[in-house]
C-alpha cells in the first residue's frame, strides 16, 4: 500500500495534471527544457495572466520550478515529481500482471 504522505502528493500531482493546458505545458517543458513565461504565453496564444495561473498550479504541485534572472522568469519541469506518477503506474501494472498470471494458472488447471 502507498504511504499516506506519498498518496497526498500523488493526488495533488494528478489534480494539477488533470488540465489539458497544464499537461501540454509540462510536455513542452520536458521536451524543450526551461522556457520563459512570455515564450510559453506566446506559444499557447494565452495572456500572461492565464499562463501564470497554470504555472502557479504546476508550481504548487512541485511539477515545475521557477528561476528568476533579473526580470526573466524561467520555468523548468521537475522530473523527480513526475517519477512518482510513473512509480504508481508501475505498481498498477504489476498488480494486473499478478492477476493475469493467476488467471493463466486457473485456465491451465481447467484444461487438465
CATH number reported for the structural domain that contains residue 58 in this entry:
1.10.10.10
Task: State yes or no: pLDDT of 95 exceeds 70.
Answer: no
CA distance 78 to 17: 13
Check residue 78 and give its pLDDT: 92
Beta strands in the chain (DSSP E): 35-36, 64-69, 72-77
Q: How many CB atoms lie within 10 A of CB 85?
A: 15
State the total domains in the chain: 1
Query: What is the domain range of residue 15?
Result: 4-111
Question: Sign of dihedral through CA atoms 11, 14, 18, 24?
Answer: positive
Check residue 112 and give its pLDDT: 62
User: Model pTM?
Assistant: 0.73
Of 71, 72, 64, nearest in space to 36 by CA: 72
Amino acid at each position: 500500500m502507498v504511504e499516506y504522505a506519498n498518496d497526498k502528493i500523488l493526488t495533488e500531482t494528478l489534480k494539477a495534471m488533470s488540465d489539458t493546458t497544464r499537461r501540454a505545458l509540462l510536455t513542452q517543458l520536458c521536451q524543450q527544457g526551461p522556457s520563459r513565461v512570455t515564450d510559453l504565453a506566446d506559444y499557447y496564444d494565452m495572456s500572461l495572466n492565464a499562463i501564470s495561473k497554470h504555472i502557479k498550479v504546476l508550481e504548487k504541485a512541485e511539477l515545475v520550478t521557477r528561476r528568476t534572472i533579473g526580470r526573466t522568469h524561467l520555468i523548468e519541469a521537475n522530473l523527480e515529481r513526475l517519477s512518482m506518477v510513473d512509480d504508481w503506474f508501475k505498481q498498477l501494472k504489476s498488480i494486473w500482471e499478478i492477476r493475469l498470471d493467476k488467471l493463466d494458472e486457473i485456465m491451465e488447471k481447467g484444461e487438465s
